[in-house]
Structure 1
Amino acid sequence: MAKRKKPIHKSLIVGSAVFVAFLCFMLSIQSYITYSRSLYKRYDNKLENILTYISNQIDMDDLYQCTLTGKKSEKYDKLQTLLNGMVDDFELFYLYSLFTRSDSVYNICSATNREERARGEEDMQLLEPTDAYPPSEILKFTKAIKEEKTSFFEETSDYGAAYTACKPYVNSVGVHFGVLCADISIEELHKTVNHYVVYNVLLTLCLGVLFGLVLLIWLRHNVTGPILALEKSARHFAEKSRDKKTPDELIFDDPDIHTNNEVESLANAISQMSEDMRNYVQGILTAEEKARSAQEQAQDMTELAFKDPLTHVNSKVAYDKMKDSLQEEIETKGAATFALLMIDVNNLKEVNDNYGHDCGDKYICGACHLFCNIYKQSLVYRIGGDEFVVLLQNSNYKNRTRLLKTLDAEFQKTKNNTSRDPWERYSVAYGMSEYKPGDSLEDVFKRADESMYQKKMEIKGLKKAQAPS
């Protein structure tokens, strides 16, 4: 029995762990996206309200004139005071307004927080240039000035990373001349999101582990435990059955499973199957015994049909089957390489009449034995009482002329040997024909038969010429 490489309970533990890990991963991503959007939306609303309130306090035409002349007005000073107060009241990272020209940034009015004022820092001057922003950030401000609504983006400056809201300055005639910006620390925003995500991951992980443990306990009781018991019984049954000789020894140990589910049905099915298999094997053995007896009888009958009972060469039935097979080869391939040798045993009637049929049978068998020894590599068929056919193929076909001379010499030797009994002086007439392209098997047989008949006539004519007058 092959060793189990992946036990089911281990697979379930690994699968549960992977599932919990994947669940935590997906929920973490979902929590991060959802909470980030919610938090960013909250910050958007907060910054939008601050910028809207400040914009409502500004005389845009007066501020526009200040940017053109570079001179502060009374309302400009009030705006400076407002910005300085609001940057502290709302704990903003930075609150300022600016405009861009030729890839440069110029201050309009920027707040100074309480700590900066305590250190003696002064407010930035109107139209004071600053190089604190890289070109990519300047491009964002330039785009925000042209917008009709508040823009939001993240930026990095000398003061640190920040989340920025920009509301364009638009005077009474619709000229966009600057932008009011409020920054909050992006680090605080990210820290808040990360704390929320970590909390949700830990909560999900705890719930996932709890769910996995409950699932494994339930599976152990209802699925894996019964399956292990069933597998043990089935493996034990297979090991016991390997060396058993009789079906009665094929006994399945029922694991006695009561789970009221498919596992119990499977156990019952296997138990019933083992019993049915035992009965089936018994039936097969009985049927095999009968079939073996019938097969032996059929084989004996086939051998009798394909073997000549007197000479033990192939019979007329075997010859007819060979003809069909050879003719099919000719028709399929369009050609074949073979020759047929027709042999007719002479003087059989005289031997039967003068010495009896037993001697006649010996005469036939002796002649057959002689040409069978010459054509050892060929199939020999008895197709009549004294007629035989030899199928010449392969080496016998290549040596057909030499073998024919040997045949003639051997039969001449026995026929003229007067020391032998008359029924041992064998004489045959023979004729050979080779297959030629376009022939049928019948054509080859007919030529061989005609050649044999001509040989027989020659032998009879010679005998008449030798007879006394």
Structure 2
Amino acid sequence: MEKKRINRPLKRSIQYGCISFVVVLCLLLGINIYFNYKNLFIKESQDHIRQIINYVIGYIDNDDLKRCMETKTESQKYKDMMVFLDDVKEDLDPQYLYVIKPLRENGGNHVLIVVSAENNYDRYEDTEGNIYLGDITEDEYTKEEVDDLHRIMGEKEIVFMESKTYWGHSYCGYYALRDSSGVLYALLGVDIDLTQMSQDILYRTLTNLILIILTGAVFIVGFITWASKNITDPIEMLEKSAIGYIKKSREVSSPDKLIFEKPDLNIHNEVESLSNTINQMTEDMKDYMFRIISAEKETVHMKEVASTDSLTGLRNKRAYDEKVKQINKLIEGQLINEFGIIMMDVNFLKKINDTYGHRYGDILIQNFCSVVCDIFVHSPVYRIGGDEFVIILQKKDLANADCLIKNFEKALSECAAGDNAEPWEALSAAFGVAYFDRKKDKSVEDVFRRADEAMYQRKKEMKAERSE
């Protein structure tokens, strides 16, 4: 007997359980660590942005800057402020430092550049791509982003937000600038690059996760080792002994030869107790197993006798009815899509019985069965009446039904055409064929009915041909 493995062995379940526990723990702790670090970095970024904004707004002359924005003319204060902003960018290292004004004209997705800080290299050497007072963006901002800037213009405090724009992935702080009359005119913006921040967060998270994973690995190894020694290995030994006992029970003819090979366990737990119980149970089952083996043999023999036609050795009407029940269940469950039925009726059986005796009628039936079984090799053949036979077409026979039917007709013709053929050797039969159609057939009986009707129609035609 081949050892049958269960789908989820206990050892594998324990291993997977431990690994799953550690994985889930690492996942939860990793998420917690990630967001804790992210919140920490965000708070540090907010403090840094707030420091830069408070430092810059103390230097800006709002009235002069507003006038420069409206006239698009750089004053001396504007130039000094631009140098100041460049120094702030160099010293405090924000990603971007700028003053802008969101516009509602031309689709509402543009902003006016008031001033933008640059590092020394970009300001004085690599000037390509720099933006200047009065520049208006093209497609760098979406309408939704500009709408957010308009909303921020109405806030009195610094507004923080995460932004993914044309300029990059940043954490931004905006402060609305007002002139001496309190009129809003622009936004001071400071951006911190989130790309490096994300890399730092990921690095710190992974460092902590590695420590957690190493700790979890030690736990997994220790627990699995203990479980293997005290639980899973003893159970596998007990299973092996039980399978060996089952194998013997199917191979030996006498229950006296059945011996349960008790595993050598010294673990003093429930598994060892179970092994002792099974050993005692097998001793008590020997007589019972002998009766089961004897009863099974008798049952199989009686079933074969009850389902076999004694004259032909074919399956009989009882076997056919059982097969019909099986196929009907498959039809109800939509588990079968195709099969066919051939209904056959042997001609001249009554005449031969009356003229030559039933002995020769039996020979006729046996000769006919031999031809049928030689041709329809892959399909079950049933004798359901004295001269009535049913073939359930399946497998290769179903696919080659037309060819097999022609071969069958040819075989019958050859038997009937012999000059020296005795009447019980000149085979003749009427038959009808029907195939399962899910659209109109609800059961095997529907297919059988159509095959039976086709058979009787063919029988009438054959009688008409003989009378002519």
- TM-score, normalised via structure 2 length: 0.51
Check whether the contact 1:99–1:179 (CA below 8 A) recurs between aligned residues: yes
Q: Helix, strand or coil for the counterpart of 1:133?
A: coil
Equivalenced residues, count: 281
- Counterpart of 1:259 in structure 2 is 267
Judge conservation of contact 1:32–1:193 (CA < 8 Å) in 2: yes
Matched to 1:154, the amino acid is S
1:49 corresponds to: 51
Aligned to 2:229: 221
Q: For 1:245-274, what per-residue CA distance to the aligned partner results, in whole angstroms no more than 9, with x for missing partners?
A: 56x766544324233433233234334444
1:153 has 2:153 as partner = no
Identity %: 30
Partner amino acid, structure 1, of 2:37: Y
The secondary structure found in structure 2 opposite 1:86 is helix
1:4 CA displacement:
2.3
Report the alpha carbon displacement of residue 208 of structure 1 after superposing the two structures with TM: 3.8
Query: Do the aligned partners of 2:82 and 2:117 also contact (CA within 8 Å) in 1?
Result: yes
Shift of 1:119: 0.7
Name the CA distance, whole Å, in 1 between partners of 2:280 and 2:56: 87
Q: Is 1:133 the equivalent of 2:135?
A: no
61-70 or 84-93, which deviates more? 61-70
Given the alignment of the two structures, is residue 112 of structure 1 paired with residue 121 of structure 2, yes or no?
A: no
- Paired position in structure 2 for 1:37: 39
Aligned partner letter, 2:171 = Y
Offset at residue 179 of structure 1 (A): 0.8
Structure 2: distance between partners of 1:5 and 1:271 = 22
Do the aligned partners of 1:100 and 1:141 also contact (CA within 8 Å) in 2?
A: yes
Q: Give the structure-1-normalised TM-score.
A: 0.51
Higher mean alpha-carbon deviation, 221-230 vs 96-105, is at 96-105
Which sits farther off after the overlay, 159-168 or 84-93?
159-168
Amino acid at match of 1:163: Y
> 1:43-192 maps to which residues of 2 (within 5 A)?
43-72=45-74, 75-101=77-103, 102=105, 103=108, 104-119=110-125, 121=127, 125-131=132-138, 133-136=140-143, 137-149=145-157, 150-157=159-166, 160-192=168-200
| Cα distance in structure 1, aligned partners of 2:95 and 2:139 | 15
* Displacement of 1:167: 1.6
Query: Which residues in structure 2 correspond to 1:28-427 (within 5 Å)?
Result: 28-72=30-74, 75-101=77-103, 102=105, 103=108, 104-119=110-125, 121=127, 125-131=132-138, 133-136=140-143, 137-149=145-157, 150-157=159-166, 160-241=168-249, 243=252, 245=254, 252-274=260-282, 277-278=284-285
- Output the CA distance in 1 between the equivalents of 2:65 and 2:76: 10
Provide the C-alpha distance between the structure 1 equivalents of 2:274 and 2:184, rounded to a whole number of angstroms: 80
Distance change (3 Å), C-alpha of 1:23 and 1:120 = closer
Letter of the structure 1 residue corresponding to residue 140 of structure 2? Y
Question: Larger Rg: 1 or 2?
Answer: 1
Change (3 A) 1:176 1:272: farther
Deviation at 1:91, TM superposition (A): 1.6
1:306 maps to none
Q: Is the 8 A contact 1:97 1:179 kept in 2?
A: yes
Q: Is the Cα contact below 8 Å between 2:160 and 2:171 reproduced in 1? A: no
Gaps of 5+ in 1: 286-469
Shift of 1:163: 3.1
Q: Answer yes or no: is the 8 Å Cα contact 1:51–1:182 preserved in 2.
A: yes
User: Matched residues in 2 for 1:165 and 1:17: separation?
Assistant: 44
Match of 2:4 in 1: 4
DSSP 3-state at the match of 2:118: coil
The 1:249–1:278 alpha-carbon spacing in structure 2 relative to 1, beyond 3 Å, is farther
- d(CA) in 1 for partners of 2:260, 2:240: 11
Answer yes or no: is the 8 Å Cα contact 2:3–2:243 preserved in 1.
no
CA pair 41-133 structure 1, distance change in 2 beyond 3 A: same
Deviation larger for 137-146 or 175-184: 137-146
Question: Contact 1:95 / 1:183 at 8 angstroms: preserved in 2?
Answer: yes
| C-alpha separation in 2, matches of 1:48 and 1:155 | 20
